[in-house]
Amino acid sequence: MDYFEHNRQSWNELTSLHVESSFYELEAFKKGNNSLNHIELEELGDIRGKKILHLQCHFGMDSLSLARLGAEVTGIDISDASIKKAKELSKEIDIPATFIRSNIYDIKIVSDDSFDIIFTSYGAINWLNDLDKWAKIIQQNLKPDGKFYMIEFHPFIYTLNDDWEITDTYFNNKELVTTVKNSYTDNSNVSKNNLKHVEWHHSISEVINSLISNGLNIDFLNEFPYQVYNCFPNLIETEKGKWVSNKFGDKIPYMYSLQARKI
């Protein structure tokens, strides 16, 4: 199975659905809203004048939000449809950014620059099968003392089924193949048959050790007892923008953030 080709095709299909969904609030974004959440805004700090590489940027809202804050941004994504829409959006709202269609494992072929910050967020690394190769690419594309920042769904969440029962191992070591019927957004039923998603779930130790072994120092690791998106089943909102399981509340981790710096 050509894992990445399956994912490219499925994300091409999902992009048009996401653009039209209320989940992404695209019209509000066009009017000036920033799509980034309070956590990454606070932890990234002042990014004015910084050169940022955004890995797996989807159709560019977060990339353009970073650009609105004064950064010079390059976004990479495997989906042709996502990159096409990102370029259209950049032009429409008159916020410059560079967007490149590529599997990030091929980034050294399409990018000959070094960056102050490499950024990735929310449901990104589960589409990657080799975190050692991922970390090498991060290290190679950072300037000396440049930083890598990520915020992700906590891998513990992926052990749970829709009823919040532990049904899967935390230590997945093989690909997970599913048929795509819908997405996490509203009105997201796909029209094509036989679309596949191929994912890999990575423990936090795997993430950290891949970065350390490739010449990055960990600045911090934070875990969060809530979710910023209503994109998993049976969540309830306890505060504006904070979602938790209707079964466990804030007793389990839902997300984590990490910053590492090139030695």
- For 163-208, what is each residue's pLDDT tens digit? 999 999 999 778 999 888 888 887 677 767 678 899 999 999 999 9
- For 203-226, what is each residue's pLDDT tens digit? 999 999 999 999 999 999 999 999
* Of the candidates 33, 141, 147, the residue with the CA atom closest to the CA atom of residue 95: 33
* Of the candidates 182, 69, 177, 169, the residue with the CA atom closest to the CA atom of residue 129: 177
Strands 72-77 and 51-55: parallel
Mean pLDDT, rounded, for 49-55: 98
What pLDDT is recorded for position 1?
61
Range of the domain at 100: 3-262
CATH of the domain at 17: 3.40.50.150
For the whole model, what pTM was predicted?
A: 0.95
Task: Look over the chain and give the mean of its residue pLDDT values, rounded to a whole number.
Answer: 94
For residues 219-239, one letter each, b for 16 or more C-beta atoms within 10 angstroms of the residue's C-beta and e for the rest, the string is: eeeeebbbbbbeebeebeeee
Number of domains in the chain: 1
Is the pLDDT assigned to residue 252 strictly greater than 80? yes
**Residue 59 CB-density burial (10 A; 0-12 exposed, 13-18 middle, 19+ buried):** buried
Is the pLDDT assigned to residue 263 strictly greater than 90? no
What pLDDT is recorded for position 187?
64
- For 118-168, what is each residue's pLDDT tens digit? 999 999 999 999 999 999 999 999 999 999 999 999 999 999 999 999 999
Of 4-8, 169-173, 256-260, the range with the lowest mean pLDDT is: 169-173
AA letter at 35: S
Mean pLDDT, rounded, for 90-113: 92
Which residues fall within 8 angstroms of residue 223, CB to CB, at 6 or more apart?
154, 253, 255, 256
d(CA 25, CA 67): 18
Higher pLDDT, 222 or 107: 222
